[in-house]
Structure 1
Amino acid sequence: MTQGDGDLDSLVRKRLRALRVAQGWSLEELASRAHLSQSSLSRIENGQRRLALDQLVTLARALDTTLDQLVETATDDVVTSPTIDSTHGRMRWTVKADPGMSVVRQRLADPPPENPARMRAHPGREWLVVLSGTAVLMLGNRRYRLETNQAAEFPTMMPHAIGAETGLCEILGIFDRDARRSHQRDDDGEAQNSPE
């Protein structure tokens, strides 16, 4: 990485220092873990030394992070707007998304279908926690009532649907990679026949 990278260069240096401080490590301790001299690490952090890829890889490993996380730029908006599905009484905010999982906050107004033929099944695993109200989770023919602060975990190959018991409820859903792909297809309009 060269000085011409400007903002990214400065961001990476700040992250290195912030991660070191968060661990409670001195320059000497991180330098030792990364097999660098203390003066080299100090010059890297304060911008007096060029950032080299091999050193960034070593520093990322020593700080228990990845090179991708160390150099990622803030391309996502800080403020997000919900996606509104008025047909199913849903409002969704994507809270976190990475290659392995997705965390989505949803406001639900309608009850789930109770007929397994109208439920979805797909590869993956999902977790949910009820933030407010009472949710109903249908797994095949079984009905689970989840109140505020209760959570559920289930394999998504089982036909399933989630909705509100009465009024509104808000849930935080966590989807593994496979479940996330299925939900993304729905959000993109490729599989709109599912009520979930």
Structure 2
Amino acid sequence: MKKTATRPSLRETAAAEIVPARFSADVAPAETSDDLGQRLKRVRIDKGWTLKEVSERTGVARSTLSKIENGQMSPTYDVLQKITRGVDLDIVELFDQRRQSAPFGRRSVTRRGEGKPHPTDTYDYEVLATDLSQKHILPFKARIRARSLDDFPGWVRHEGEEFLCVLSGTVRVFTEFYAPVTLEVGDSTYFDSKMGHAIVSLSKADAEVIWICTGISALS
């Protein structure tokens, strides 16, 4: 009896994809709002540093720092991490100055829509619990705008580890050393942030995820 050919599932198709070899560089910054850049500039001026000095401390190009300060670029998470580590700043200070620094008995509640927005070309972040500093994790929600690897100049990579869980839609998770995997609502993944990674939405509408990154205590 002749077997009927079956169409490969979405997961099988994802696993068969080959990641382009060009994905070996860090992701470049994208558009941002003025307030984040102004806060970075204020920190730099308060410390009496020039753009050149901050560039040497962080490893971020002086021209890039200038564009961020002037609201012409929106730094991705890995770039923000380099900057905050280099200038000895807690990353949440860039999003909210109402911070609780007490190390014991803390709690933070972020109501729907009250997180601090941080849009980029590929993801729209909503940073959560910004009133707490010296956290060991950075929690945020993200709307996945990217639809393919072509939307990224290269891999995203930074210190720490991360976890994400799909809230709506379907996403495909590309990582440097593994076959792509497709995640649907309720699915989750945990991976090493130093491994190149990129997330794209397979849905008609932007998929939404809850995202948690570690390694934040080193930034405070």
TM-score bracket, shorter-length normalisation:
0.3 to 0.5
Structure 1 or 2: more strand by fraction: 1
Higher-RCO chain (CA-CA 8 Å, sequence separation at least 6): 2
TM-score by structure 1 length? Answer: 0.47
TM-score by structure 2 length? Answer: 0.42
Structure 1 or 2: more helix by fraction: 1
